[in-house]
Amino acid sequence: MKLPRTPLIAIATIAGLAAAAALFILPRLHPRDAPCMAREFEGSRFIVCTYDTRRQDMRLYSRAPGGGYLRSFEALQQELGADARRVSFAVNAGMFNESGAPIGLYVQDGDEQKAISLTDGPGNFHLKPNGVFWQGQDGLLHIEVSETYALEMRTPRWATQSGPMLLIDGALHPRIAEDGASRLVRNGVGLRDGHTAYFVISSGFVSFGRFARFFRDELDCRDALFLDGTVSSIWAPSIGRYDDNHELGPMVVVLDRR
């Protein structure tokens, strides 16, 4: 049976009404609804996980209970026990030696397990200035150049030192090229404000310059710190990601509140 033809104007009107209705029916994506989201920037893809101190809690982990160091998300999950069900995301969080021990400042729940390092040396950690990501006893978040942190004699609840700094008060690290030859999977952390940190991992190989600009130009951060490169890993249940690297150092985990 041939149906009568519907005028094109009527079809357009119906389609427009349907689209308008969908805006009210479908939930709008917002960082509060998805802790980890994919973002595109300069042809590269990044996973961005948001930590909001007003509705989530953060912990740092390094040492294993029986000796040695945790080294993997599998070990971290076992250490968390029942709290593993509250994991919003976890990432590796700072430079370490062959055994997995932090090589720079490391503070876990107020206990300084490794003092700040201001020495010179090889590798990304010593590409000065390096820096410290830390959370105070008041819950506020900070990223500071290591020398500034040391002068002020901070008393953090959680802290990890890494390097290099990516952004310092809105400017790229002076020794980072705009788009240098070194290309790796990289992860880092940047601050939007004292309550909001963005933990970012690239989905492919990126330069330091592009990685730093992503924090500055896409996420509106003024300070950002490189966490690691080759071993960069993430555990993010909301996007079904659980990297199985067993050679990690310190790890940060963000937990949803009960």
SS3 211: helix
Task: Give the DSSP per-residue string, 49-83.
Answer: EEEETTTEEEEEE-B-TTSSB--SHHHHHHHHGGG
**pLDDT per position as a tens digit, 135-157:** 999 999 999 999 999 999 899 99
Q: Answer whether 89's CB lies under 8 Å from 49's CB.
A: yes
Query: CB 107: neighbour CB atoms within 10 A?
Result: 24
Residues facing residue 160 across a β-bridge: 106, 133
Task: Please report, rounded to a whole number, the percentage of residues in the chain having pLDDT higher than 90.
Answer: 83
Q: How many CA atoms lie within 13 A of 172 on its CB side?
A: 16
What is the pLDDT, as a whole number, of residue 200?
98
Report d(CA 1, CA 19) in Å as an integer. Answer: 29
Give the domain ranges of the chain.
29-256
> In a 3-state reduction of DSSP, which class is residue 215?
helix
pLDDT tens-place string over residues 218-237:
999 999 999 999 899 999 99
Q: Is the CA virtual torsion 86, 89, 94, 96 positive or negative?
A: positive
Instruction: Output Rg (C-alpha) for the chain, integer angstroms.
Output: 21
Q: 228 φ, ψ to 5°?
A: -170, 175
Confidence of residue 181 (pLDDT cuts 50, 70, 90): confident
Q: Minimal CA–CA distance to 190: which of 157, 168, 210?
A: 168
